[in-house]
Structure 1
Amino acid sequence: MAEAGEIIVNMAELDRYVVSCMMASGATEDSARVLSDLLVTADYRGHYTHGLCRIDVYTSDVKCGVTCGGGKDPTVVKETVATALIDGNNLLGPVVGKFAMDVAIQKAKTAGVGIVTVRGSNHYGIAGWYSLRATKQGLLGMSMTNSDKVMIPTRSKTRSLGTNPLSMTAPGKDGDSFELDMACTTVAWGKVEIKKMKGETLPTGWALDKGGKETCDTSAVAGLLPLGGLEQNSGYKGYGLAMMVEILTSVLSGAEMCSFVRKWKTYEKPANLGHCFLAIDPGAFAEGFTDRMQNLMDHNRNLEPVEGEEEVLVAGDPERQHMALCDKLGGIPYHPNQIEFLDDIAKSLGVDPLEHVTKSC
């Protein structure tokens, strides 16, 4: 997360920047706007690892022709009243994911549940962006993807599964909601990149070098530890969770799997990533779901915090706090090195750099 009070950029300006960069790279305006919504939302929610810091990956993929920048839609290959298999036709991941999540939502409204698997897609950003599409319509939402950033599983120094993020969101009352968005590794790969961008060392428990040994040196990182860390700290549970996501995304859909997925910033073949989306109508089950969901969240928030902490949070609260900060600042705060990175990309594409202000707060 960037430090507040450094460089503040208005969200409309961020949208202008992303759309301009993507169109300069060869994407259609419609596809560029979908991607912009996801990237700006990620930074607004405090998920800087999946926001504008990823713009170089998307622009390069479209420029090199390894990802389709638009002009066509995903294809429904097979479906039942409650399920669908979708081919993303190698479009930008957020374009594919938005289409697929909306199919799952419509099926849930008809059948009580919608389950959609996807193949032929690309990196799709924060998983929560999709789940929240369902929860904004009163549904439970789930989203997951296999990924092209590998981790090193417990007892192995070879590349295997990706960070394999997943999300689940559920509606409470008066706009409140549970909003889980997490990777199956200790941290997302982007957190290592942001540490490197800021010239900082890594905390212990994040990463491993090419020999499978733990490292705090950003230049030596070859893989990420599974959730839980090393084996003695139950890292095998994170490894198993990542396998579960892999089954529901790549194995079920016929997409490329684990370390066979094309790695970022290589352009020899399409990524063929797999996703899985679920939407569930709570009305198809016991009455009073939102009341019980709100009681569950409030019960945990009202627990006595440990010494040194002011409050107990539930998933989604840190994001709401960051969004409130952005609203107060009048934009999203960034580290100067992040802005320099984005300005360099704009220059390389012949796009106007970001307009921003410096504030202290």
Structure 2
Amino acid sequence: MNTYNESELKQFCEKVLENMGMCKDYSEVVADSLIKANLEGTDSHGISRLPIYAKRFMDKRIKVNPDVKITKKAPSVLQVDGDNGLGHIVSWKAIKEGIDTAKETGTAAIGIRNSNHFGTASYFCQMACEENLACVGFTNSPPGIAPWGGKEAFFGTNPIAFGFPTGNDQPVIIDLSTSIAARGKIILAAKQGTEIPDDWAIDENGYPTKDPAAALNGSVLPLGGAKGAALALAVEILTGVLSGAAFGPHVKNLYDDNETENANVGHFFLLLDIEKFMDLSLFFSAIQNLLKEMKEVPKKPDAREIRYPGERRKRESDGRLLTGIKLSGNVEQDLKELGDKFNIPFPETISLDNSSKSLSI
């Protein structure tokens, strides 16, 4: 694997998107979301996704500059039509409007339809935390999980995310798939030609598999068995049914070249203005005490420390800002070929010996 400067990768993303006609505000959001995922160690949702997004822009399956329509249905209820835009853009606009609504009324419930893949849910939780709001986020996705007892994918992997500000630069960020592993990790494994653990998925006949291609033709297993499948159903109801988007097998797959219909992915967010519930300083004091006491629980013999969700992301990001972002050969080749289409040179690799000097911190 070669290593790259994060800021140069972000600039590459922006240039590609702008060469496809995307406005600067939108290109900056998409690039920021992708590279932030890489920095935080969620490479399956990082820059490796840029080629498929670009392909769908070029074949007109996703709008480059969507006309996102946000309607206030009640003081705290926002209904969003994403105009078949990329989910990063649609959700960014929705969260910005939702932040203003939550600061006015105390809460904002946001139902989004006619969208597409939006990257990491944590990105939008972090947006809310920067404004001292708590956030709960959901999205559906193309079929990836079979109903409990079934062997054919029906539900999406349907992530659930939470964000809570802590009064410092390490908010509590919980972002998890309702499957054992995010489908994006299996897609990345297939691209890299590596095996997956045999407890992640089943093949089309219902048997465990280590082959990511067989897993993609079969079903990812739900997190926690029947409980994970139940959570996937709950997310499907919020994001698909309540938001007015597609649900279950009707959500179209971004990676299916034979598909002609819009994906119609649905998202749902709930924003809470903490100051409407309690004094912000009291909240920060209480949550910091909670986390401190949690981390002081006696550790198992094989545990070095107890971390809260969000700490690993921050440490990983700090580290990769210094050492750079590693890309596999397949991802690197896809990105170089994409750049060649627009005469945009791909960044040069960096040396680890010089990375601390050449990278932005």
Shorter-chain TM-score above 0.5: yes
CA distance in 2, matches of 1:52, 1:151: 25
Instruction: List runs of 5+ in structure 1 lacking aligned partners.
Output: 1-5, 229-234
Q: 1:343 aligns with which of 313, 336, 339?
A: 336
**Are the aligned partners of 1:186 and 1:225 in contact in 2 as well (CA < 8 Å)?**
yes
CA distance in 2, matches of 1:85, 1:123: 18
CA distance in 1, matches of 2:251, 2:262: 9
The offset of 1:61, in angstroms, is 1.1
Q: Which residue of 2 aligns with 1:357?
A: 350
Q: 1:198 aligns with which of 176, 192, 197?
A: 192
**Are the aligned partners of 2:170 and 2:311 in contact in 1 as well (CA < 8 Å)?**
no
Q: Which residue of 2 aligns with 1:310?
A: 304
Q: Which residue of 1 aligns with 2:249?
A: 259
**Are the aligned partners of 2:137 and 2:268 in contact in 1 as well (CA < 8 Å)?**
yes
Q: 1:140 aligns with which of 134, 139, 145?
A: 134
1:276-299 deviation line (CA, Å, top 9, x unaligned): 111101222244222111112122
Distance 1:197 1:89, change over 3 A: closer
Q: Which amino acid aligns with 1:285?
A: F
How high is the TM-score relative to the length of structure 1?
Answer: 0.91
Distance 1:114 1:26, change over 3 A: same
The offset of 1:336, in angstroms, is 3.7
Report matched runs for 1:48-87 at 5 Å: 48-70=43-65, 72-87=66-81
Q: Which residue of 2 aligns with 1:244?
A: 234
The offset of 1:349, in angstroms, is 4.5
Q: 2:262 aligns with which of 266, 270, 292?
A: 270
CA distance in 2, matches of 1:286, 1:22: 42
Distance 1:300 1:200, change over 3 A: same
Q: Which residue of 2 aligns with 1:334?
A: 327
CA distance in 2, matches of 1:336, 1:13: 18
Q: Which residue of 1 aligns with 2:359?
A: none
Q: Which residue of 2 aligns with 1:116?
A: 110
Q: CA RMSD in A?
A: 1.8
CA distance in 1, matches of 2:122, 2:283: 21
CA distance in 1, matches of 2:170, 2:22: 35
Percent of aligned positions that are identical: 28
**Are the aligned partners of 1:60 and 1:265 in contact in 2 as well (CA < 8 Å)?**
no
CA distance in 1, matches of 2:214, 2:54: 26
CA distance in 2, matches of 1:342, 1:301: 41
**Are the aligned partners of 1:39 and 1:52 in contact in 2 as well (CA < 8 Å)?**
yes
The offset of 1:348, in angstroms, is 4.3
The yes-or-no answer on 1:225 pairing with 2:221 is yes
Q: Which residue of 2 aligns with 1:31?
A: 26
**Are the aligned partners of 2:115 and 2:263 in contact in 1 as well (CA < 8 Å)?**
yes
Instruction: State the SS of the aligned residue for 1:215.
Output: coil
CA distance in 1, matches of 2:44, 2:91: 19
**Are the aligned partners of 1:178 and 1:297 in contact in 2 as well (CA < 8 Å)?**
no
The offset of 1:118, in angstroms, is 0.6
**Are the aligned partners of 1:24 and 1:351 in contact in 2 as well (CA < 8 Å)?**
no
**Are the aligned partners of 1:161 and 1:259 in contact in 2 as well (CA < 8 Å)?**
yes
Q: Which residue of 2 aligns with 1:45?
A: 40
Q: Which amino acid aligns with 2:221?
A: L
How high is the TM-score relative to the length of structure 2?
Answer: 0.91
The offset of 1:17, in angstroms, is 1.3
